[in-house]
Amino acid sequence: MSVSPALKASARSAYRNLYRAANSTFAGDDHVLKAFRMKMRNNAIAARAIVDPETYEQQTKLGREIADVLRKNIVQGVKISNIEGLSDGKETFRLRITKDTELGSNDSVKNPTPVEKSNRSMRKEEKGAKQHHTSVTDVAPHNDSFASFSMSHLPMHFTDLKKAYLKRDIPELREEDLEESFVRGSGPGGQSINKTENNVQLLHKPTGIRVSCQETRSLKLNRRIARKHLIEKLDKIMNPGLSKDDYLRAKQRERERRRRKRAKKKASDKASEDDEEDDEDDQVAVVKKLT
């Protein structure tokens, strides 16, 4: 028995449907979205070994049901500061409701009463918005429907970002989690590249991340560099906004900001000195006229 082309086409359609549902449900939460996509990919790879049409169809049906649950029954929530006037100390969360979310037949749920914001809360939001524009803005994709969540967990200033970067969890590689292979190289470099298997291919089994390295002619050095690249990719997934690349970009921006600040101060001081010299020249000219 084998899986018919029609069943395979149905499975691909279910996979695309689930992919779009995940994008809609987890929009703004880059870490969860990447983890869900990785889980989908691993399950799809494992399903290739299924040869029973009935089992294959059941897996396809399950994917459609999961996509339906994601759209209708899963909502995102982010913790916000306590609303003034509540003395019970309960935590407050903001929910992201989409057009596909099932809200039931309760009119009070469909059309909730808006909560009036105090002046203090409005000032805090304005201050946070200003800090957001001066912070690291290229960590996660911008999402207008849930913009307050995308960067709320990251430090706003470089000093705080540096402290968080130093305290982050650095991923560790275990050799039992790696699948390593060597293939023949290509490109410039002569026989040392084109006739030797010095192109290192690394697959991280838990996440499905694959890297390749052919930067040098040495196989030993390429293996070391490939593991370094894999750690960098895992760092971006485990520490969104706090990875080594994100930190170096933020550090470069901080250097440029300080350089502009020094240049502006230097220009201001020079302008003040020129004004003082002009005033002295005017005073000397007045004294000469009087004498």
Indicate if the pLDDT at residue 275 is higher than 80. no
Across 48-70, average pLDDT? 84
Nearest Cα neighbor of 63 from 77, 44, 50 is 44
Radius of gyration of the chain (CA): 29
Query: What is the pLDDT of the chain when averaged over all its residues?
Result: 75
Confidence band of 167 (pLDDT split at 50, 70, 90): confident
Strand partners, 78: 94
Query: So what's the pLDDT on residue 139?
Result: 38
- Using CA atoms, how far residue 202 sits from 68, 173, 184, in Å, is 35, 11, 14
Question: Which residue, 91, 96, 81, is CA-closest to 29?
Answer: 96
How many Cα neighbours within 13 Å face the side chain of 227?
14
Sign of CA dihedral 22, 151, 242, 260: positive
Distances (CA, A) of 133 to 140, 157, 178, 205, 249: 14, 11, 40, 38, 16
CA distance 90 to 43: 40
pLDDT of res. 196: 66
pLDDT tens readout for residues 72-100? 888 877 777 655 555 456 677 777 777 77
CATH number belonging to domain 175-238: 3.30.160.20
CA distance 230 to 90: 42
Most confident of 14-23, 82-91, 98-107: 14-23
DSSP letter for 106, please: -
Domain boundaries, the chain: 5-73, 175-238
- Whether this model's pTM surpasses 0.75: no
Please give the average per-residue pLDDT across 233-256, as a whole number: 85
Cα 153 to Cα 224, 231, 237, 243: the distances in Å are 33, 23, 15, 14
208-225 average pLDDT score:
87
